[in-house]
Chain A
Amino acid sequence: MSVLVVAEHNNVSLKSSTLNTIQAASQIDKDIHLLVCGFQNDEVVNQASTLEGVNKILQLNDEIIQHQLAEHVSQVIINLSKNYSHILAPSSTFGKNFMPRAAAILDHSQISDISGVISPDTFIRPIYAGNAIATVQSLDPVKFITVRTTSFEPVEIVGGSASIEKISLNLEGIATKFLDRKEAKSERPELGSARVVISGGRGLENGDNFKLLNEIADKLNAAIGASRAAVDAGYIGNECQVGQTGKMVAPELYIAVGISGAIQHLAGMKESKIIVAINKDEEAPIFGIADYGLKADLFQALPEISKELDLLNDIAK
């Protein structure tokens, strides 16, 4: 049977989490279909049609599902589920919202946040904030799965040629009204898929000081991240939080500035390829996992880093 991947998008562009999820799907079965549900989502379908590995796109274009609320997306999945052995979505706030709902309506369990595929019914998933790794086997006829995107390489955005099937469904009205969505606008790369991430913690002392990070982020084409303490203190928005209860990131380079390195923070970034820590306290636990540690006052170190970067002839981006 085939695998259905639920595309994450905002009706305009496809989110990169979809590409990692398709990679995970390709390790289960080669016949991959992609569900794009939303409103006026032709552009998304267009982008998706060339993705490596996708055979078919199911497009649902209906105003009622414009905001992709969980109550609606789960109805769509349930309607399609009989044709699939596996249904996958990214383990983002998007996928986490509707996938358990769809699974439960069909009296199925869900396998959350897989980081590896052993076989079509056996998967690896981190538990206890990544301090233990479980191998789990699903006994359900249909596997409902969310995917830890940082554990799977994105598929190529070209090379495929999917057929497009338009679907329509009579979706039931729901008891929820969409009011507003406040998205932080940023010219920077997405935090979840950026090549470089520079994160600030309580050591930054206030929101204004994040401009010291921005300056470096501009030069490295980096995304900005933060610890929960920095978000809680109002220095920066919740969309920037890295960690157990925030986002998972695994960039080529992660720079932690004024972050102590609590396990809940490490849970979100310890898979990064190279970790740099800048902290004035040499006992800070973050140094225990950093490839390069710099014991320094961040208010001195950051402007210096910015200057040193200017001295380099070229910077990989």
Chain B
Amino acid sequence: MKILVAVKRVIDYNVQIRVKPDNSGVEKDNVKMSMNPPDENAVEEAIKLKDSGEVTEVVIVSIGQEKCQDTIRTALAMGADRGILVKAGDDIEPLAVAKTLKNIVEKEKPNMVLLGKQAIDDYCNQTGQMLSAILNWPQGCFVSELGINDSAITISREIDEGLEQLEIQLPAVVTCDLRLNEPRFASLPNIMKAKKKPIEIIEIESLGVDTIPKVKYLKVEEPPVRQGGVMVADVKELIQKLKYEAKVI
């Protein structure tokens, strides 16, 4: 069995982002970039399945600038076998990403595609669902438990009311929640080894994917800042303030 994992390079989750003064977007120059956090869970899950013998090959794909190779290398250092970089502009939309991934799926023929459930930058939560739609494959989204048996997977997915369990025939697309597993840290020897693993580079133009945006970002602004209030001395004062000042209880 073969798994394809899609990973995105985003501004590191610890960075306090800054909006560009001309409101054209968010400052990305000289900012620490990392793998989108739930994508790490997707990589980890694929490697775990490989460790357990269920999976024979784990291929990593990322779409974006040359620098996305770093993100792919991170996944290779965790234990993935090889990478594919589809070189494209910075801000291609989830639909175009899904179409690009569809191309790669048709070429690589994996039994399952794993992705993070959402990217922490554009916050769309779309790519996995869109990919499964255009492949006409079933989807398992926001997954926090995954089991494989031959031609099907059993998943537990996090929903607002609790959990939902589904059995899904392969091939399928799965999007991962942070609770699916604990991503491993790459050891130094594995980081060295990963440098020798192959990364194939494909130009997005060669795939014939339409990347013209269908959603235009007109401007990006700072949110209104919330001002801190006061410290209260004790519980009595807190309750008095909530009752007679804020009038919320």
**Which residues on A are within 8 Å of B, measured CB to CB?**
10, 69-71, 74, 92-94, 96-105, 107-113, 122, 125-140, 174-184, 192, 196, 220, 228, 231-232, 237-239, 244-245, 247, 252-253, 263-264, 270, 273-276, 282, 287-296, 301, 304-305, 308-309, 312, 315-316
* Interface membership of B19, Cβ < 8 A: yes
* Known A126-B223, A132-B223, A176-B167: A276·B118 in contact at CB below 8 Å: no
Contact B246 A100 (CB under 8 A): no
Contact A238 B123 (CB under 8 A): no
Q: Which of B124, B162, B229 touches A184 (beta carbons < 8 Å)?
A: B162
Contact B220 A134 (CB under 8 A): yes
**Shortest Cβ distance from B29 into chain A, in angstroms?**
16
Chain A residues with CB under 8 A of B158: 93, 238
* Known A132-B220, A175-B138, A292-B230: A181·B161 in contact at CB below 8 Å: yes
Chain A residues with CB under 8 A of B247: 316
**Which residues on B are within 8 Å of A, measured CB to CB?**
11, 13, 16-17, 19, 26, 38, 93-95, 98, 117-118, 120-127, 129-134, 137-142, 144, 154, 157-169, 172, 177-179, 213-223, 226, 228-232, 234-236, 238-239, 241-243, 246-249
* Known A179-B154, A184-B162, A292-B230: A131·B223 in contact at CB below 8 Å: yes
* Known A100-B129, A237-B162: A109·B228 in contact at CB below 8 Å: no
* Known A74-B133, A131-B16, A180-B165: A93·B160 in contact at CB below 8 Å: yes
Q: Which of A96, A184, A292 touches B242 (beta carbons < 8 Å)?
A: A292
Q: Is the interface of B mostly helix, strand, loop or mixed?
A: mixed
CA distance A178 to B154 in the complex (A): 10
12 A–B pairs (Cβ distance < 8 Å), ordered by A: A103-B95, A103-B126, A104-B95, A104-B98, A104-B133, A107-B95, A110-B94, A135-B219, A138-B215, A274-B248, A296-B235, A316-B247
CA distance A129 to B238 in the complex (A): 29
**Shortest Cβ distance from A299 into chain B, in angstroms?**
13
Contact A112 B123 (CB under 8 A): yes
Contact A290 B98 (CB under 8 A): no
**Shortest Cβ distance from A272 into chain B, in angstroms?**
9
Contact A109 B93 (CB under 8 A): yes
Q: A96-B129, A110-B130 are in contact. List 5 more A-B contacts (CB 8 A).
A: A104-B129, A113-B123, A136-B217, A139-B213, A176-B140
Chain B residues with CB under 8 A of A131: 16-17, 223
**Most chain B C-beta atoms within 10 Å of own C-beta, residue among A101, A270, A282:** A101
The 3 residue pairs across chains A and B that have the minimum distance between CB atoms: A104-B130, A291-B229, A175-B169
CA distance A288 to B229 in the complex (A): 8
Contact B232 A294 (CB under 8 A): yes
Number of A-B contacts (CB under 8 A): 259
Contact B166 A178 (CB under 8 A): yes
* Known A245-B177, A305-B239: A101·B144 in contact at CB below 8 Å: no
Chain B residues with CB under 8 A of A101: 129-130, 132-133, 139
Q: Which of B157, B222, B231 touches A293 (beta carbons < 8 Å)?
A: B231
Contact A130 B249 (CB under 8 A): no
Q: Select from chain A the residue with minimum beta-carbon distance to B14.
A: A263
Contact B178 A308 (CB under 8 A): no
Chain A residues with CB under 8 A of B179: 231-232, 238
Chain A residues with CB under 8 A of B216: 136-139
Q: Select from chain B the residue with minimum beta-carbon distance to A220.
A: B249
CA distance A133 to B219 in the complex (A): 8
Q: Select from chain A the residue with minimum beta-carbon distance to B13.
A: A264
Q: Select from chain B the residue with minimum beta-carbon distance to A228.
A: B178
Contact B215 A109 (CB under 8 A): yes
Chain A residues with CB under 8 A of B172: 175
Contact B165 A129 (CB under 8 A): no
Contact A292 B229 (CB under 8 A): yes
Contact A312 B249 (CB under 8 A): yes
Contact B125 A100 (CB under 8 A): yes
Chain A residues with CB under 8 A of B178: 228, 245
CA distance A247 to B159 in the complex (A): 10
Contact B163 A129 (CB under 8 A): no
**Shortest Cβ distance from B243 into chain A, in angstroms?**
6
Chain B residues with CB under 8 A of A113: 123, 125
Q: Which of A175, A247, A292, A296 touches B241 (beta carbons < 8 Å)?
A: A292
Chain B residues with CB under 8 A of A274: 242, 246, 248
**Shortest Cβ distance from A158 into chain B, in angstroms?**
26
Q: Select from chain A the residue with minimum beta-carbon distance to B166.
A: A176
Q: Select from chain A the residue with minimum beta-carbon distance to B219.
A: A135
**Shortest Cβ distance from A308 into chain B, in angstroms?**
4
Chain A residues with CB under 8 A of B160: 92-94, 192, 239, 247
CA distance A101 to B226 in the complex (A): 36
**Shortest Cβ distance from B126 into chain A, in angstroms?**
4
Contact B164 A180 (CB under 8 A): yes
Chain A residues with CB under 8 A of B142: 93, 96-97
CA distance A101 to B131 in the complex (A): 8
